[in-house]
Amino acid sequence: MSNVNQIERVFILGMDGAGNFIQNTATPNIDAFLAQGAVTYTAQAQSPTISAECWGSVLHGVVPGKHQLNNEVAASEIFPSDSPYPSIFRLVREALPGAKLAAFSSWTPINSGIIEEGLDIHKESLPDAELVGAIQSYLEHNRDVKLLFMQLDEPDGSGHKYGYGPDSPEYLNAISTNDELFGLVLGSIEKLGLLENSLVVLLTDHGGGGDNKYSHGSDHPMDKNVFWGCVGPGVEAGTALPELFIVDTAAVAMQALGLKQPEDWDAKVPVGLFGA
């Protein structure tokens, strides 16, 4: 646990709609990176397995029935600044008023409707490749960022268009393309000397192709099973994660930053993640 005190910042780097299908296509950057820490291919998306519900849980630490987000709400409303279920961005801002916070999302409703406004968060919404360039530029000038979130969107877009799963070449290619983009971000983190004192979480929000080849939202394992992993001080290479829900990401981030999580959170730090 003492190694957690060495963590100065948290990166949460996500791609949308990839399930655990990184196992079925070339993802050399993600594979090599997560070999240094903890990884599971059977983490559980929240139900319903839809983007706003799932990213809402990742960022707010509670199940969808509490944060009340769905795609329509996230796309049309600003998340209430007085909600009893604040995002990790609001919690970090309240605990560390001067901290640098950044959110980069290809799917605009994350920045406009899931993460609160008015918290002095650096926010950018751009297509995947442009977004990664913006992250690299931001890191060059803000090495002291405390919390940075990234969401790339194309695997989900390809799944809706071409079908999800291991038998959809276009979908698998989108995941491999995202792996290359992840590699650029991870390369910047390492080149700037930030890796040794950062916790880096890699994840996706949901899969697809379970009940409907071209969609998601069900509790079918193809929709529910997702990859999740992290690397950082206190996380031993090869750490097993027998049970993890993507909502737990919020608890992991808060513990890594040395901050107390709300008592009513559903998020929990996986047993054994940071050692004994």
pLDDT digits (tens, 9 = 90+) for 89-119: 999 999 999 999 999 999 999 999 999 999 9
Arch. (CATH architecture) of 2-256:
3-Layer(aba) Sandwich (3.40)
* CA–CA dist 126, 122 (Å, integer): 13
- Is 146 in contact with 9 (CB distance < 8 Å)? yes
Length of the chain: 276
Q: Residue 275 pLDDT > 80, yes or no?
A: no
- Section 188-208 average pLDDT: 98
- Section 176-202 average pLDDT: 98
Averaged confidence pLDDT in the chain: 96
Residue 3 banded pLDDT, cuts 50, 70, 90: low
Task: Note the pTM of the prediction, 2 decimals.
Answer: 0.97
Across the beta sheet with 198-204, the strand order is 38-44, 225-231, 198-204, 9-15, 145-152, 100-105, 122-124
pLDDT at site 2: 45
* CA–CA dist 49, 47 (Å, integer): 5
